[in-house]
Structure 1
Amino acid sequence: MTDDLLSGPRGRQFCLGVLAATQPEIWTVAARSASSPQDHGLASELAEALGSPAAVSAAESAGGQALMAGLTGAVDAARYWQQPDETDALLAQPAIRLALGPIAHALADALAAWWGPGFLDGDHQSFVQWTDERKGQPPVPGGAARTLADWIAAALADERQAAERPKNPAANWGGWWWSTPRPSELLTTTRSLPDLGAIGLLLVEDSIGWKQATVWPLVPRPDARVYEIDGPAAWTGLAARYPMDVSLAKRHDWWRTTGIAGRWLVPDWSAVAGDYDGVHLTLWGYLTTAGRALAARPSAGPSVAVLERTVLAGWDPDETYWLNDVLTPGAAPSDWRSDGSGRWSRQG
């Protein structure tokens, strides 16, 4: 499990973020080292700090507040349309990854104890509706088939049009970098916590800084078929089973974020809907999978070569995309407001 948590950029940022919440001096050294990548002395200082008994002890005793701080930092730093930032590059260095080993081992246990079972918590699901600009209407748990039809039509059109874009993956060109059914009108939910209407208030990739939201509890049908993305194998398996070629549309963005040029797949969500009503990305699945260039379909035969890869991008931790109409309204909605520093409070 330790290797899994350190295999991807989001997991490594999570480990550093948890320590930063309780050991600010470590964050100071990390920031200095990240801004001066040629200074090997700073990198050595960081590796020594990460391997110190104090750092390991902090990870072993990390509670919900520190774990949430680490998660928030990891999610905020996600960028799938540009090169890895300085901190991601720093944490990918072999010596730093090695020093993070005991930290990752302790945090894997702490995260499991704090969060509990990683699979979908069907009794506590809520839809977050951002209301900074206007009061929203109640979510309508219907029309998923039409929405998916519109999504695949747009995705296929985007792939066709991308044939006219520069062939050089390093060209200055951006596009539709998500691997999810986004942008779309599909309903998504995340788990509610005792003092937070929905985890989706805090853990949002590519957030634009919303400060007001209405949280709507929604209840999935007891017999809803949910696919769990709990790690890299579950994600690549989905892309391989329901392949959709997006090599042209993702060529530039995913080359920048992974450094790899080649063929790319995402799941055909309209096909996935034939077998599953929802797809849930667990917290662990996010930390171990997001942002990585993963082999989706290796070549057959004696030679080992990767024919196609896939990237999990633009999917928030614990978020479930509902591909079929299996939701009904739950309890009364609640309004929430952020103080701008990451703390949300219930209004009224």
Structure 2
Amino acid sequence: MTDVSLMSGPRGRQFCLGVLTATRPEIWTLAARAAEHSGNQGFASELAEALRSPASVTAAASAGGEALLAGLAEAVDTARYWQQPDETDALLAQPAIQLALGPVARALAGALAAWWSRGFLDRDRQNFVQWTDERKGPPPDLGGTVRRLADWKAAVLADERQAAKRPKNPAANWGGWWWSTPTPSGLLTTTRSLPDLGAIGLLLVEDSLGWKQATVWPLVPRTDCRVYEIDGPAAWTELAARYPLDVSLSKRHDWWRTTGIAGPWLVPDWSAVAADYDGVHLTLWGYLTTAGLALPASPSAGPSVSVRERTVLAGWNPDETYWLNDVLTSGAAPSNWLSDGSGRWSRQR
């Protein structure tokens, strides 16, 4: 775990608030009122007092897996990279609120480290989630990754060329491919399983379409596979700088709305990353401290560079690994899962 604070990014701050609202419902009431009435400093002050209280710090320090998962789900569910920050994100960005939430964030950093092992360790617990609300699909295709990456890059370059015809004003009402992942490529992704949960990917999904049925396929990566860890902002920006792909035109409108910055923008060229790594894994800590931030990522950055390219980690779910080469084999038998609509998943017998 890096020295970056949970307070450094919008998803980390939402996580902190989400854990507290799961354990102290009165915090939710105070936060909702302060967010709705953003001009009322009295409401914000009342929230700040509740956040810095010993009861809140104690709740954070003693948070177990259920509360931490609730906070993670809140952080993921409220992620938006194609619009301006919502009222709660804006509230949590206020200096006074951040200061009050600081002790909670420090306590939660310890609780998270104790509950969740760092890095890509559970090679024998990797699972692919296949959504089956409309129909059951075939087993995951474990080959053809090179072709999928080539198709992805061709589509990105075509979109960038087409984007040259779009309005130059970043505030124009225009949207496009806002994610920075190799989507929609059809690449396989996996997340690890938890006790009583077939895969954390069932629960933590950015921009979810509300799926309620899924098949979970255990997959086993090769023992010698090379996995790059995104465990914080520095690891993400290094990846974008080492393997730069210019997407300034296609991301111009969406990422301006979510960050207030007009670019230029880079994402990693995943087809180039594949030459050095078989997979790229986003840790929980990496997600909470990196997602949604406009981060400098210039390949040639130096003291004399006045305008630097930036990058945004967007559309990547916590603990998710994107597989860039054919290094997966089938594991145990798949299992079917059903959601009750409130975030609880149960295995079907």
Match of 1:173 in 2: 174
Paired residues in the alignment total 348
C-alpha deviation, 1:305, in angstroms:
3.0
1:95 matches 2:90: no
Determine the C-alpha separation between the residues in 2 that align with 1:205 and 1:53: 32
Please state if 1:34 is matched with 2:35.
yes
Matched, 1:5 2:6: yes
User: Superposed, which structure 2 residues align to 1:69-148 within 5 Å?
Assistant: 69-148=70-149
- What is the alpha-carbon distance in structure 1 between the residues aligned to residue 254 and residue 130 of structure 2? 28
How far did residue 303 of structure 1 move?
3.8
Q: Indicate the residue corresponding to 1:227 in structure 2.
A: 228
Amino acid at match of 1:34: A
SS at match of 2:309: strand
Q: 1:63 to 1:77 in 2, by over 3 A?
A: same
Distance in 1 separating the partners of 2:203 and 2:255: 25
Residue equivalent to 1:18: 19
Counterparts of 1:1-348 in structure 2, within 5 Å, are 4-297=5-298, 300-303=301-304, 305-348=306-349
Q: Deviations over 1:68-106 (max 9, x none)?
A: 000000000000000001000000000000111100000
- The structure-2 alpha-carbon separation of the partners of 1:286 and 1:301, relative to structure 1 and needing over 3 Å to count, comes to closer
Q: Give the C-alpha shift of residue 110 in structure 1.
A: 0.3
Cα distance in 2 for residues equivalent to 1:282 and 1:291: 15
TM-score, L = length of structure 1: 0.98
Instruction: Output the amino acid matched with 1:63.
Output: G
On the 8 A contact 1:152/1:268 being kept in 2, the answer is: yes
1:4 Cα deviation (Å)? 2.0
C-alpha change, 1:153 and 1:120, in structure 2 (3 Å) is: farther
Contact 1:283 1:318 in 2 (8 A): yes
Q: 1:336 touches 1:345 (CA, 8 Å); kept in 2? A: yes
Q: Structure 1 327/55 Cα, relative in aligned 2: closer, same or farther at 3 Å?
A: same
Name the amino acid aligned to 1:112: A
| Contact map agreement 1:299 1:305 (CA 8 A) in 2 | no
| Native 8 Å contact 1:32 1:42 kept in 2 | yes
What is the CA distance between 1:331 and its match in structure 2? 0.2
Counterpart residue identity of residue 42, structure 2: G
Question: Match for 1:95: what amino acid?
Answer: A
Kindly indicate whether the alpha-carbon contact (under 8 Å) linking 1:118 and 1:284 is maintained by their aligned counterparts in 2.
Answer: no
CA, structure 1 residues 334+248, in 2 after alignment: closer, same or farther (shift >3 Å)? Answer: same
Give 3-state SS (helix, strand or coil) of 1:177's partner. coil
Q: Is the 8 A contact 1:216 1:333 kept in 2?
A: yes
Q: Distance in 2 between matches of 1:169 and 1:299?
A: 25
Distance 2:69 2:3 in 1: 19
Unaligned runs of 5+ in 2: none
Q: Is the 8 A contact 1:298 1:305 kept in 2?
A: no
CA distance in 2, matches of 1:274, 1:118: 21
CA RMSD for the aligned pairs? 1.1
